[in-house]
């Protein structure tokens, strides 16, 4: 899926690399502000960041895809309506509270959007609201209205970094990817980091471009590219109620080549999708599963998802344990449960380039096992270590890299293939989601 | 699902209660033996227990259902053939190695079965072999043949406890349930404890009875009862390659009432299924999800499974955190992904008797939250605490109880209902499956 496997000697080097990606396309400004408030539903104060992405001039050329969760958040309900509006002028994003199934949630989203529009000289329907965070709580509307002037006055045209930093929740670092097409740029940012098997998952992704691509084309391209990138990852098989991917063009640079634009969009989305997994809650190994020889892409995707969502296999990966029996279990469960008509005696499986299964039986020996362990250790992002109180959290300063556990499954049953990305299941995931209230 | 919610003041009290359940039906003997061996695939010695369940006289009246995993273990392949044989005389069970997709696995199973048959004066096809443990390794045939005389000479008619203890792997204690019908008994044993979303899951279950019920009736009853009990639990959504539930009658006691027999079988299987969850790998809370108001039972089951398999909700339960947003997320994901045609604005949800969702919105306040936390703490089996090396394991001596986290979902969309059992997702699960090689 990804083209690169960068390796950074330090956090500082990673940060410098992010700053290089971050130049905004022409026609956009971003800004953010942070404030404390006390939720109605909780006894202690919380901190929220309000992020604005604003166009210099409202554009008709925007696209968005949203979660398929049947309990969509209020901003998703509002966002779906916005797709019918003639123009988009700004995106307003808050973290901490996702505004899902809270009484009066849609009204709260519209109230905050309208206030942002007033500050920016826009119509209320020209603002797309997005929220991520705790499900069930209501937005602190008064506090957000009070913070809007600071957010508006922080808008700046230099770098997308303030927005990439503003939208995160449990992410370990901001995520930015870009590609160039002629004189124009395609720049995307994303937040993860849990409840992610996009369909879409709270994943929020914003891709900005100054390349002039008309609205209908943007929407068709985004649907296709999102399906082949963000819909092929899973952190934990959960699907957020707030997932949103938006693509906005300021239209200031003529697009010389639509195919090149699609390739640039695909590259940015492919890399951002991998970033979301790599930065997923508790992820210490990224699993890249390539399923080939499938009768069709849908079958390949479903089998790849079954593998990256199999808890016992994910735990084995966390422990650098090449427990290939659990991989075969996951395949067999999926094929048995779905009644998929493939001849499993032809299946071949490799991990890290080592053949581990062929002709209906395992192909294992000590030397291969040692090579598999080495491959797993090489792909580990950081070592797991409990704090004094027994909880687990990632170290703040591990040097990032982009190596994956490479898993190849050849069904020898057709021409289709797909690559699915997932993560391991770790103490850090459990600590993040059980030891603390999110 | 279960009828009882026992609470035991100590491990000793639980053990005494198990011994009371354990009297064998007439016509059966059980025994086991333990030995050390060195697997071909691993550099250090391992320990295996070989368990025998023998009939005094071979019986035509036996039934079994097996995993739906498309990579079934060799003993499952052999076991399916045994269903066509006229009589069953014994069941031979080994733990430690599951004999799945190992080269020559079926031959190894048949060799060991034939040797057991010779010791017991049976035909080779009258022995049902079963294996559970590591997937991918081959059976240590020579060591097993050497151990068979000790297993055969240990056979005894008093108690099923030696078999219940012999078949376990990562289980925390043996599992035994019984019911009486007139002068006869139905006694079942089970092992869990991971890779369990039966369809079937390695779950091994043996139910013995002296009540005379003919073969075809036994098989029809077992299919129906297993589907409504063992197929409605999930520890981790993984489906073992070795799952087996066998039901064997010695036929020594006339069955006075077939409906009473089915009720007894259902009671034993219901309680054993709950035991398997309660003793599941890392389980510290049993989640009992009752879905009602569904258009049909299949829909109710699928939604219940989606809830007990949602990792973020499972983590919240582990932390005694009533994060009801994650429950609604799981329901919304399932309904969104399956395209289920139900009006979710009518859904009502309760946890521990507290209404938390109705009319499309959460119903939460501080007092309710406190009651939910108390309900979760009351259902906790033991507190999580890391060892000095940062790994997590259950305390060996916590006093068992049978309280559950009670979750009720009313779809208000039809007459059907189903109860699904699952567990939380804990550090103990990750330690069991990542920190050590199984």
Mapping DSSP onto H, E and C, the string for A229-284 reads CHHHEECCCCECCCCEEEEEEEEEEECCCHHHHHHHHHHHHHHHHHHHHHCCCCCC
From edge to edge, which strands make up the β-sheet containing B88-94? B28-37, B46-59, B88-94, B127-131
**CATH architecture of the domain with range B11-278:** 4-Layer Sandwich (3.60)
- Does A135 sit within 8 Å of B336, measured CB to CB? no
Taking the domain A286-435, which CATH number applies?
3.10.20.340
Is pLDDT at B87 greater than 80 in this prediction?
Answer: yes
First vs last C-alpha separation in chain A: 31
B337 neighbourhood in chain A, CB within 8 Å: 68, 199, 239
Our CA-based measurement puts residue A116 at a distance from the nearest CA of chain B, in whole angstroms, of: 26
Is pLDDT at A52 greater than 90 in this prediction?
Answer: yes
Is pLDDT at B36 greater than 50 in this prediction?
Answer: yes
Return d(Cα B92, Cα B193) in angstroms, integer: 20
For residue B432, give both structure tokens: 């069991």
Residues 6+ away with beta carbon under 8 Å from A118: none
User: Is any Cβ of chain A less than 8 angstroms from the Cβ of B396?
Assistant: no
- Does B357 sit within 8 Å of A101, measured CB to CB? yes
Return d(Cα A166, Cα A169) in angstroms, integer: 9
Our CA-based measurement puts residue B120 at a distance from the nearest CA of chain A, in whole angstroms, of: 32
Residue A28 backbone dihedrals phi, psi, to 5 degrees: -120, 150
Return d(Cα B43, Cα B37) in angstroms, integer: 11
* Of A80 and A198, more confident: A80
Q: Which stretch of A265-279, B85-99, B141-155 has the lowest confidence by average pLDDT?
A: A265-279
At A230, is the pLDDT very low, low, confident or very high (cuts 50, 70, 90)? confident
pLDDT at position A202 is 59
For residue A332, give both structure tokens: 């067999």
Percent of chain B whose pLDDT exceeds 90: 52
Q: From the list B136, B313, B392, which residue is nearest A325 (CB)?
A: B136
* Of B159 and B8, more confident: B159
A325 neighbourhood in chain B, CB within 8 Å: 98, 100-101, 134-136
Q: Over range A328-350, report the average pLDDT.
A: 89
Return d(Cα A253, Cα A210) in angstroms, integer: 6
pLDDT at position B269 is 86
* Of B244 and A340, more confident: A340
A349 neighbourhood in chain B, CB within 8 Å: none
Q: Name the closest residue on chain B to residue A436, using Cα atoms.
A: B319
Q: Could you tell me how far CA A117 lies from the centroid of its own chain?
A: 27
- Looking at B202, B209, B244, B299, which residue is catalytic? B202
pLDDT at position B201 is 39
Percent of chain A whose pLDDT exceeds 70: 94
Q: Using one digit for the tens of pLDDT, what is the confidence trace for A167-182? A: 887 777 888 888 899 8
- Does B425 sit within 8 Å of A337, measured CB to CB? no
User: Are A201 and A240 within 8 A, CB to CB?
Assistant: yes
Q: Residue A306 — left, alpha, or beta (φ > 0 → left; ψ -120 to 50 → alpha)?
A: alpha
User: Is any Cβ of chain B less than 8 angstroms from the Cβ of A43?
Assistant: yes
Is pLDDT at A196 greater than 70 in this prediction?
Answer: no
CA dihedral of residues A369, A373, A379, A383 (deg, nearest 10) = 160
Q: Over range B305-333, report the average pLDDT.
A: 90
Our CA-based measurement puts residue B86 at a distance from the nearest CA of chain A, in whole angstroms, of: 28
CA neighbours closer than 13 Å in the CB half-sphere of residue A339 = 0
pLDDT at position A2 is 42
User: Is any Cβ of chain B less than 8 angstroms from the Cβ of A354?
Assistant: no
The ranges assigned to domains in chain A are 11-278, 286-435
Return d(Cα B430, Cα A318) in angstroms, integer: 9
SS3 at position A179: strand
Q: Over range B405-432, report the average pLDDT.
A: 93
How long is chain A? 438
SS3 at position B50: strand
Q: Over range A334-354, report the average pLDDT.
A: 91
Q: From the list B194, B309, B344, which residue is nearest A312 (CB)?
A: B194
- Does A328 sit within 8 Å of B135, measured CB to CB? yes
- Looking at A51, A132, A202, A239, which residue is catalytic? A202
Interface of B with A in 328-347 (CB under 8 A): 328-337, 340, 344
User: Is any Cβ of chain A less than 8 angstroms from the Cβ of B301?
Assistant: no
Is pLDDT at B200 greater than 60 in this prediction?
Answer: no
Interface of A with B in 248-287 (CB under 8 A): none
Q: Please state whether the peptide bond connecting residue B377 to the residue before it is cis, i.e. omega within 30 degrees of 0.
A: no
At A94, is the pLDDT very low, low, confident or very high (cuts 50, 70, 90)? very high
Is pLDDT at B110 greater than 60 in this prediction?
Answer: yes
- Catalytic site residue B270? no
Is pLDDT at A5 greater than 80 in this prediction?
Answer: no
pLDDT at position B3 is 53
Q: Residue A225 — left, alpha, or beta (φ > 0 → left; ψ -120 to 50 → alpha)?
A: alpha
Q: Name the closest residue on chain A to residue B386, using Cα atoms.
A: A390
Percent of chain A whose pLDDT exceeds 90: 51
* Of A406 and A103, more confident: A406
Q: Using one digit for the tens of pLDDT, what is the confidence trace for B177-187? A: 888 998 998 98
| Local structure of residue A137 (DSSP, 8 states) | P
Determine which of B66, B77, B97, B136 to mutate to test the interface with A (most A C-beta atoms within 10 Å).
B136
Return d(Cα B287, Cα B330) in angstroms, integer: 14
Is pLDDT at A201 greater than 80 in this prediction?
Answer: no
pLDDT at position A289 is 95
User: Are A100 and A74 within 8 A, CB to CB?
Assistant: yes
At B237, is the pLDDT very low, low, confident or very high (cuts 50, 70, 90)? low
* Of A190 and B47, more confident: B47
SS3 at position A392: strand
Q: Using one digit for the tens of pLDDT, what is the confidence trace for A265-310? A: 988 888 888 888 888 888 999 999 999 999 999 999 999 999 999 9
pLDDT at position A259 is 93
Tokens 């209908």 -> residue: A216
At A205, is the pLDDT very low, low, confident or very high (cuts 50, 70, 90)? confident
Percent of chain B whose pLDDT exceeds 70: 94
Q: Do domains B11-278 and B286-435 have the same CATH topology?
A: no
What are the CA-CA distances from residue A19 to residues A46, A155, B114, B217 (Å)? 29, 17, 70, 72
Mean pLDDT estimate for chain A: 88
User: Are A384 and A318 within 8 A, CB to CB?
Assistant: yes
Is pLDDT at A315 greater than 80 in this prediction?
Answer: yes
pLDDT at position A437 is 47
For residue A129, give both structure tokens: 């609201």
Is pLDDT at B396 greater than 50 in this prediction?
Answer: yes
B136 neighbourhood in chain A, CB within 8 Å: 324-325, 328, 362, 364
pLDDT at position B228 is 85
The structure's pTM equals: 0.80
For B342-397, strand residue ranges (E) read 348-351, 354-358, 361-362
Is pLDDT at A41 greater than 80 in this prediction?
Answer: no
Mean pLDDT estimate for chain B: 88
Q: Using one digit for the tens of pLDDT, what is the confidence trace for B280-311? A: 888 999 999 999 999 999 999 999 999 999 88
Q: Name the closest residue on chain A to residue B102, using Cα atoms.
A: A361
B383 neighbourhood in chain A, CB within 8 Å: none
- Does A434 sit within 8 Å of B331, measured CB to CB? no
């Amino acid at each position: 899926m990804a083209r690169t496997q960068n390796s950074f000697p330090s956090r500082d080097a990673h940060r410098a690399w992010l700053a290089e990606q971050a130049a905004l396309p022409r026609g956009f400004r971003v800004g953010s502000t942070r404030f404390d408030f006390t939720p109605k539903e909780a006894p202690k104060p919380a901190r929220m960041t309000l992020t604005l992405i604003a166009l210099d001039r409202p554009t008709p050329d925007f696209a968005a895809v949203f979660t398929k969760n049947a309990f969509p958040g209020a901003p998703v309900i509002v966002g779906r309506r916005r797709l019918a509006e003639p123009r988009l002028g700004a995106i307003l994003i808050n973290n901490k509270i996702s505004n899902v199934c809270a009484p009066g949630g849609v009204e709260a989203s519209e109230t905050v959007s309208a206030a942002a529009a007033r500050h920016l000289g826009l119509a209320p329907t020209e603002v797309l609201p997005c929220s991520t965070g705790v499900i069930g709580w209501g937005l602190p509307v008064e506090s957000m209205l009070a913070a809007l002037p600071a957010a508006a006055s922080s808008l700046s045209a230099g770098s997308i970094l303030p927005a990439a930093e503003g939208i995160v929740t449990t992410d370990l670092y901001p995520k930015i990817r870009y590609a160039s097409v002629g004189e124009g740029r395609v720049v995307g940012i994303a937040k993860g980091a849990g409840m992610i098997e996009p369909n879409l998952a709270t994943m929020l992704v914003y891709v900005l471009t100054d390349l002039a691509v008309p609205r209908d084309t943007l929407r068709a391209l985004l649907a296709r590219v999102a399906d082949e990138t963000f819909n092929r990852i899973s952190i934990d098989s959960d699907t957020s109620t707030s997932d949103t991917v938006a693509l906005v063009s300021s239209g200031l640079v003529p697009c010389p080549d639509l195919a090149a634009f699609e390739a640039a969009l695909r590259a940015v989305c492919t890399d951002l999708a991998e970033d979301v997994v790599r930065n997923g809650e508790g992820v210490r190994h990224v699993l890249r599963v390539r399923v080939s020889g499938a009768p069709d892409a849908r079958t390949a995707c479903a089998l790849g998802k079954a593998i990256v969502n199999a808890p016992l296999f994910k735990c084995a990966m966390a422990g650098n344990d090449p427990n290939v029996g659990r991989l075969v279990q996951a395949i067999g469960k999926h094929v048995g449960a779905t009644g998929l008509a493939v001849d499993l005696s032809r299946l071949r499986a490799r991990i890290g380039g080592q053949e581990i299964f062929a002709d209906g039986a395992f192909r294992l020996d000590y030397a291969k096992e040692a090579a598999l362990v080495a491959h797993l250790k090489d792909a580990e992002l950081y070592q797991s270590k409990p704090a004094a109180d027994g909880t687990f959290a990632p170290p703040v300063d591990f040097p990032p890299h982009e190596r994956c556990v490479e898993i190849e499954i050849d069904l020898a049953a057709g021409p289709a293939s797909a690559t699915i990305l997932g993560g391991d299941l770790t103490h850090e995931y459990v600590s993040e989601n059980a030891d603390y209230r999110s």
